Structure 1
């Protein structure tokens, strides 16, 4: 038998073993679902297959899609690796080892990780400097019980793998801000994450719930934002895109909402958008009370290949519109390839493509709505152990 024949036989045998391992009856449905979800989810596929991701955490920055684009401005030779070892918080004089120190006191690009599981009770809102990545993978990190996160006039921010919940409003105060500058703050609502005049922000694989105001606000001219793989649950007002009806700068706002899980027990704003543009794709909606997607001031929304599961009783309509201008032809709510269960329905205001017009760094393939369940099965903060993949 020639070496070529032996090699061919070995290749065929290896292929048969692989096919048997993948499709054998003993393989659990959960494992097959995870494999399928990883193959279809272009963000997770970029890094979760790699069992050595801990050795090169900043590789995550190359995996983002949507309007935030690739986050490669967050990495490079001048990147500082900073580890949070202390869950305490001092708003005006941050101690080395705390989250606030890493987010405000380092005047370079910084990649923040956590030494261990921890619950951080912020005394005041945490202002995050530009070119900061907060990476909670491999630990169980909760920011909860008081103030939460504020991205104010900052750019190139990654927030990944955190549990953020039970956030409360804050009275006017002063805090240490970016570039080691003390910043006076007015009243701050009880949002989990609030963006104010921010740009190029990627929020991925976070779990957000039970905050006094909302879970995510994108306001006052913020743009180029991707919200992906998050789990939003147990909340009245979930996601607000656009400051108020009179804030015209939000006409330039562009937000991608992809691979997220909304519910259970979410009421409204998934998202609610004013003025700007939102591409809402491959998300799972586990019911709503008032509506899922709504807006005012003539927003543009392309809803693409989402799975809308209407509540058993109550409102079945996905959309909501505020104002008399909804019948004047300027509204653009467009549904394409969406899937509807339990009687859910989507009232389109404007037919047309409403393309996001992504650049090569932003574009991604939207999967069929039939794939949404496995695509979003791992939404929220991942459980990554030292002995297994995420």
Structure 2
């Protein structure tokens, strides 16, 4: 099968171009030998990133794998021009119209800087990319994003803050179908029963509940290059202790910056598996990484900077019997500062066992400050590199 990109170019050629941009990045004005992580090296050296936005989908790593299902033949380009929101009858030009009324693969961009106050949660469709590069886009002051039983979703380059809880009520969903939602807690991004999701280069802070929830059987998720700050309960992986379907959950948390003023859940894991690598932890209140119900956690080459006062312990376990002594919680080549320490348990357990599309080189923890320097939503130049 000859799979074509949206411009009629074979997908294999698109992938080859992505590799070429990496190899010649220094000719675009950016030295690709600078301390950038493997995701950013893949696309940020391309000064023509605006014309080649879909190159981004070839750059993901971790359990989400490559997001090439989001590109290829039939991708619809949609530009948000109107920051207003009507959850029952979305207007053309609004973000909600793009995610509910356009069928198939859609790549959504933004015409200009804007703040979008969603009146009900935005229910994102499968095969949707929301790409905020080139504009300063805030999702703030109202509802935020819900990914409900969807697959192949990219959320990139947005600022989520002051998301509020929402009362039950109807809302337009994928395929222009009306849905009845129950009470929503006020999370910035909530995944429910979803898979193959990449959340990259967003800035998230000060929401009513959590910043990111991955729950109810969600799996194959990569959370990368984000900046989480000024928040209590940051990231929840696993719905509740009784939801055993989350045993299949696999999440990669990589190249993120946590802090300042993050209290806990970076992440908090139930049942499943989390690979937490090359992140910076700028202090914490209660703990950095925690969990319950025998999750497996591999903490690898992270930089943990304990607060000057308060808890120095990175980990927290909720377990009534044995205090989690059999759980596989491993610290591999982490670096600890200001008295931080990680209590390991278990027999070591398996590594993430990534396939070729998922695997990536893990840098030493001493390089993590540089690798995460650009975490969060990027301010991309309109004329050159991002």
| TM-score under structure 1 length normalisation | 0.90
Indicate the residue corresponding to 1:36 in structure 2: 34
Shift of 1:230: 0.1
Matched, 1:100 2:106: no
Task: Find the counterpart in structure 2 of residue 275 from structure 1.
Answer: 271
Judged with a 3 Å threshold, the aligned counterparts in structure 2 of structure 1 residues 45 and 325 are, in CA distance, closer, same or farther, namely: farther
- What do you get for the CA RMSD once the two structures are aligned? 1.4
Deviation string 1:273-328 (CA, Å, 9 cap, x unpaired) is: 00000000000000000000000000000000000000000000000000124446
Q: Secondary structure at the match of 2:50?
A: helix
Alignment match of 1:199 (pick from 166, 172, 195): 195
Q: How many residues of Structure 1 are paired with residues of Structure 2 in the alignment?
A: 359
Which runs of no fewer than 5 residues in structure 1 stay unpaired? 1-17, 23-30
Native 8 Å contact 2:294 2:324 kept in 1: no
SS of alignment partner, residue 249 of structure 1: helix
Residues 51-200 of structure 1: pairs in structure 2 closer than 5 A: 51-200=47-196
Deviations 1:129-156 (A, max 9, x none): 0000000001000000010000001000
Give the equivalent residue in structure 2 for 1:294.
290
Question: 1:7 corresponds to which residue?
Answer: none
CA gap of 1:328–1:49, structure 2 versus 1, over 3 A, is: closer
Structure 2 residue aligned with 1:10? none
Per-residue Cα deviation, 1:337-372 (whole angstroms, up to 9, x for no partner): 000000000000124253101111100011000100
Separation (CA, whole Å) in 1 of partners of 2:338 and 2:155:
34
Partner of 2:318: 322
In the alignment, is the contact (CA less than 8 A) between 2:317 and 2:324 conserved in 1? no
In the other structure, the counterpart of 1:359 is 355
| 1:329 Cα deviation after fit | 4.3
Cα 1:311–1:328 change in 2 (3 A) is closer
Larger of the two Rg values belongs to structure: 1
TM-score, normalization: structure 2? 0.91
Secondary structure of the 2:245 match is: helix
Aligned pair in 2 of structure 1 residues 82, 326: CA closer, same or farther (>3 Å)? farther
| Alpha-carbon distance change, 353 to 249 in structure 1, aligned in 2, over 3 angstroms | closer
Question: Matched residue of 2:298: which SS?
Answer: strand
Match 2:234 to one of 235, 238, 244? 238
Q: Secondary structure of 1:370's partner?
A: helix
Unaligned runs of 5+ in 2: 1-25
Given the alignment of the two structures, is residue 370 of structure 1 paired with residue 360 of structure 2, yes or no? no
